[in-house]
Structure 1
Amino acid sequence: MDVAITHWINSFAGQTPLVDPLMIAITKVGVPFIVLVVVLQWWSREDRQHVRHAAICAGLAFLLGLAINQGVLLFIHRVRPYEAGVSHLLIAKSADWSFPSDHATASMSVAMAFALQRLPRRAIAFFAMAFLVGLSRVYVGTHYLTDVLGGATTGIVAAIAVRALYREDSKLSRFATGIL
């Protein structure tokens, strides 16, 4: 089923001249754009300390999620769908294994961090961006759907771990959110 859904999503690649460049752009600049939006949260005018805490949580979850992925890659060596003949690749080949998707991990960790901090408008915006990034990775042919779902799961787990370990009322948090 994973192969069939991946193939179906990727089957649109190369068929729509307007969608291909959009998906390529999202897959290339989606995560850096999300990082930029998180950084810009530092200067929020509403509930500044809480939003700053959420931005720090997002950054920590981002880093933790990608670190977890590196551990997973030591044990799971899944070839990319374009190497298995499942997808048509629209971007340059990747040098690492397919599972889990770092892009999905990074974007979902940010979205979940903002959701866990009870900032619903921001969380919805980040979830929408994470969805587009994940979809773009399958569309451009570099990931299976389950690679994206696995990466999203890692991002969620990382955000939950950060939420449990980095408390807003701690001395460290008060110090960090007071910078600038």
Structure 2
Amino acid sequence: MYFFDWLDHIDKIAFTFIHKDMSARWLDFIMLLLRNQYTWIPIYMFMLYWTYQLDRPTGLKFLCLTLLCFAITDFTSGGILKYHFERLRPCYDEDMTTVIRGIIGCGGKYSFPSSHAANHFGLATFWFFTVLHLKQQRWHWLWLWAFSIGLAQVYVGKHFPLDIVGGGTLGIFSGLCMFKLFEAWVKRDYDKYLKNPSLSLP
């Protein structure tokens, strides 16, 4: 129990540093922008365009597993784990009353793990390894994208750093599972083609 108390203490120190000590008025606007879902519409449109460039069977697999990855991370983080751990958001935590700057509304009561972190690290992981598998390209910017959203969640006071770590871990695990499923799905169709060349190549 002492370890978890110590971890909670360190987490709150890190939160205070990011949320308060690292704050600046010009950063407030940027961080609010980073965590806004509409900010990233161009990235989602780019991914749709990229998917369209694939052959249709592969593109449909990629799209279906992208949606499944998001559904799994969002439901697991927001619908299961938050109510299992019941960790209060910083704005509901009495220890943080003198720290919270109130630049955004509080939202739901519980914060662990962060659904934003889970969703975006899940997509970043699945996309990164799938693009690497299909095109041999390393889209490192995906990790920066997910990390910046997670950092913004702490900066605006929505989450503690460990909420982001927990959500990110869930997202990475889910994204890797979706990638392995994608890899197996594509390989299965390709093996079927080798056995019966009269079929169209997936």
Deviates more, 1:74-83 or 1:156-165: 156-165
| Corresponding residue number in structure 2 for 1:108 | 121
- The yes-or-no answer on 1:147 pairing with 2:185 is no
Corresponding position of 1:43: 52
Displacement after TM superposition at 1:51 (Å): 7.3
**CA–CA separation in structure 1 for the residues paired with 2:24 and 2:168:** 27
**TM score, norm. by length of structure 1:** 0.80
Alignment of 1:17-28 (within 5 A): 17-28=25-36
Question: Does 1:64 pair with 2:64?
Answer: no
Q: Which has the larger radius of gyration?
A: 2
Residue identity opposite 1:130 in structure 2: A
Structure 2 match to 1:168: 186
Q: Say whether the 8 Å CA contact 2:117–2:164 is kept in structure 1.
A: yes
| C-alpha contact (below 8 Å) 2:32/2:156 kept by paired residues | yes
- Is the CA contact 2:83–2:110 (under 8 Å) kept in the aligned structure 1? no
Alignment correspondent of 2:101: 88
Return the offset for 1:62. 1.4
Q: Distance in 2 between matches of 1:40 and 1:90?
A: 35
| TM-score of the aligned structures, taking structure 2 as reference length | 0.72
**Moved runs in structure 1, 4+ residues, more than 6 A?**
none
Give the aligned CA root-mean-square deviation in angstroms: 2.6
- In structure 2, what residue type is equivalent to 1:133? I
Once the two structures are superposed, residues 86-141 of structure 1 have per-residue CA deviations (whole angstroms, 9 ceiling, x without a partner) of 53232122124101111111110111002222437563122111011000000000
Pairwise CA distance, 1:147: 0.4
1:168 CA drift (Å): 2.1
**Cα contact 1:113–1:160 (8 A) shared by 2:** yes
Unaligned runs of 5+ in 2: 1-9, 190-201
Structure having the higher helix fraction is: 2
Kindly tell me: are residues 81 and 61 of structure 1, through their superposed partners in 2, closer, same or farther at Cα, counting changes over 3 Å?
A: same
Change (3 A) 1:73 1:42: same
- The answer to whether the aligner puts 1:137 opposite 2:153 as a matched pair is yes
Q: 1:21 to 1:101 in 2, by over 3 A?
A: same
2:87 aligns with 78
Structure 1: distance between partners of 2:69 and 2:188 = 17
Aligned length, in residue pairs: 168
Whole-angstrom CA distance in 2 between matches of 1:164 and 1:31:
30
